């Protein structure tokens, strides 16, 4: 009997272990309690700001003008928007002057040079957000692919304050993620960052250097 056979025989002869019951995740979160709306908004605001993202309060009618003003301050010339996305239509009515809207209408491989070299910023809507980590949840689709939130150096995110959840479990259950999910669900906590062995932070290494959240309804909570 060789060593391999001996080891396998001992493993097969070992007594079966007792199954460990799965933890009651729902009960744990119920016992931990939930935050009220105002607390969720303020916790989200504080946590994402701590991750070097900007948060600007606005409303459903004013956000296009706010975005255009911020874009002008930051020297944004070309802003990428989703193909046929509702927010693109709302912004098109306000955009003008030095700000050019570019719609994501073809695969990145067909306009790679312009996409990577000439697009200054992108605008995507957030599905929701998490208060306990200050994170944004994006569900990319054909209208607003994953590359929109990855390639441009500045990422504008449109977020409804009513969609801020306490934590990831609350978001998954309230939005019924188990029923249908995209190929790629994103949880974004501030700009892209990395650090060397001395833990010197560098922003924009593998994604946007800046994340700017346009928070709709946050000031009224």
DSSP-derived letter for residue 15 is P
Residue 1: inside a domain, yes or no? Answer: no
Which residue range forms the structural domain that includes residue 144?
A: 35-216
Residue 13: inside a domain, yes or no? Answer: no
Q: Which residue has the higher pLDDT, 163 or 83?
A: 163
Residue 94: inside a domain, yes or no? Answer: yes
CB 54 within 8 A of CB 212: yes
Q: What is the CATH number of the domain that holds 188?
A: 3.40.50.10420
- Interval 80-135: pLDDT, tens: 999 888 888 888 877 666 889 999 988 888 999 999 999 999 999 999 999 999 99
Residue carrying the six token digits 């046929």: 84
Rounded CA gap, 91 and 108, in Å?
Answer: 22
pTM of the predicted structure, to 2 decimals: 0.84
Residue 21: inside a domain, yes or no? Answer: no
When divided into structural domains, the chain yields a total of 1
Residue 206: inside a domain, yes or no? Answer: yes
Rounded CA gap, 92 and 149, in Å?
Answer: 20
- Interval 189-214: pLDDT, tens: 888 777 666 676 677 667 789 999 99
Residue 120: inside a domain, yes or no? Answer: yes
Residue 127: inside a domain, yes or no? Answer: yes
Amino acid 220: pLDDT: 66
Residue 118: inside a domain, yes or no? Answer: yes
Rounded CA gap, 56 and 70, in Å?
Answer: 10
Find residue 13's DSSP bridge partners: none
- Virtual torsion, Cα 139, 145, 149, 150, nearest 10 deg: 120
At 207 the three-state DSSP class reads: coil
């Amino acid at each position: 009997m060789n060593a391999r056979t001996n080891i396998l025989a001992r493993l097969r002869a070992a007594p079966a272990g007792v199954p460990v019951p799965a933890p009651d995740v729902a009960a744990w979160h119920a016992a931990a309690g939930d935050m009220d709306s105002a607390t969720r908004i303020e916790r989200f605001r504080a946590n994402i700001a701590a991750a070097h993202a900007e948060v600007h309060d606005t409303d459903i009618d004013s956000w296009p003008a706010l975005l255009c003003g911020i874009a002008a301050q930051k020297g944004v010339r070309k802003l990428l928007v989703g193909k046929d996305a509702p927010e693109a239509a709302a912004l098109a009515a306000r955009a003008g002057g030095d700000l050019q809207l570019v719609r994501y209408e073809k695969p990145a491989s067909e306009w790679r040079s312009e996409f990577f070299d000439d697009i200054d910023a992108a605008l995507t809507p957030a599905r929701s957000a998490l208060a306990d980590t200050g994170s944004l949840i994006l569900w990319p689709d054909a209208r607003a692919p994953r590359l929109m939130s990855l390639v441009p150096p500045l990422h504008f995110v449109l977020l409804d304050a009513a969609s801020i959840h306490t934590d990831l479990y609350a978001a998954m259950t309230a939005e019924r993620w188990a029923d249908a999910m995209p190929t790629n669900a994103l949880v974004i906590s501030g700009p892209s960052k990395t650090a060397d062995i001395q833990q010197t932070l560098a922003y924009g290494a593998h994604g946007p250097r800046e994340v700017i959240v346009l928070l709709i309804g946050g000031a009224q909570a």
